[in-house]
Amino acid sequence: MKKKIGITLNGKRTALEVPAHRLLLDLLRDEIGLTGTKEGCGTGDCGACTVLLNGKPVNSCLIFSGELDGADIVTIEGLKIGPELHPVQQAFIQDGGVQCGYCTSGMLMMSKALLDENPDPSDEEIRFAISGNLCRCTGYAKIVKAVQDAAAELRARR
């Protein structure tokens, strides 16, 4: 059964007709073609598919498209600020927070959500925030440092 929904995706209003049971992750990747959002498990355990739904981080593999009418969705493709990288993207590059990169999109969206709420998170708060985002490559240390550096940069810009 298809359902008509209107969403705001990365700042652009979009009208879609989708099967109501289609998962947001599959909607983004297979139907809209935004493959920056990654699929790591499909069961809400790894965080690779994290996007912002109405400003909050969610596992897009757990959200039905039928629920999305009127929703505001931001994916990794919408994280840049104009043509510039978001400070958290810049910090991940600078500090070596990226290895294979498969968890990176989800990590970045989760980090942005944290920094939107808490401009000066402690090491422990960062670790707690990203504890649902699995990374098999980095050991997290450089990711935590990147989020700290991004926080400092965002505070300096205020």
Under the binding rule (CB under 8 A), the answer on residue 103 touching another protein is yes
Residue 42 CB neighbours (<10 A): 15
| Candidate ranges 52-60, 63-71, 137-145, 149-157; the one touching another protein (CB under 8 A) | 137-145
Under the binding rule (CB under 8 A), the answer on residue 150 touching another protein is no
DSSP state at residue 64 = B
Under the binding rule (CB under 8 A), the answer on residue 3 touching another protein is no
User: Tokens at residue 155, please?
Assistant: 């505070």
User: Tokens at residue 129, please?
Assistant: 């925030």
Q: Which CB, 69 or 80, lies closer to another protein?
A: 80
- Selected from 14, 20, 67, 136, the binder of another protein by CB under 8 A is 136
- Selected from 18, 27, 53, 108, the binder of another protein by CB under 8 A is 108
Under the binding rule (CB under 8 A), the answer on residue 32 touching another protein is no
Under the binding rule (CB under 8 A), the answer on residue 37 touching another protein is yes
User: Tokens at residue 151, please?
Assistant: 């926080």
- Selected from 4, 43, 82, 158, the binder of another protein by CB under 8 A is 43
- Residues 6+ positions from 128 with CB-CB distance below 8 Å: none
- Residues 6+ positions from 97 with CB-CB distance below 8 Å: 91, 104, 107, 138, 142, 143, 145, 146
C-alpha span between 100 and 138 (Å, rounded) = 9
Q: In this structure, what are the phi and psi dihedrals at residue 54, rounded to the nearest 5 degrees?
A: 50, 40
Binding site for another protein (CB under 8 A): 29, 33-43, 45-46, 48, 75-77, 79-80, 85, 89, 92-94, 96, 98-105, 108, 126-128, 130-144
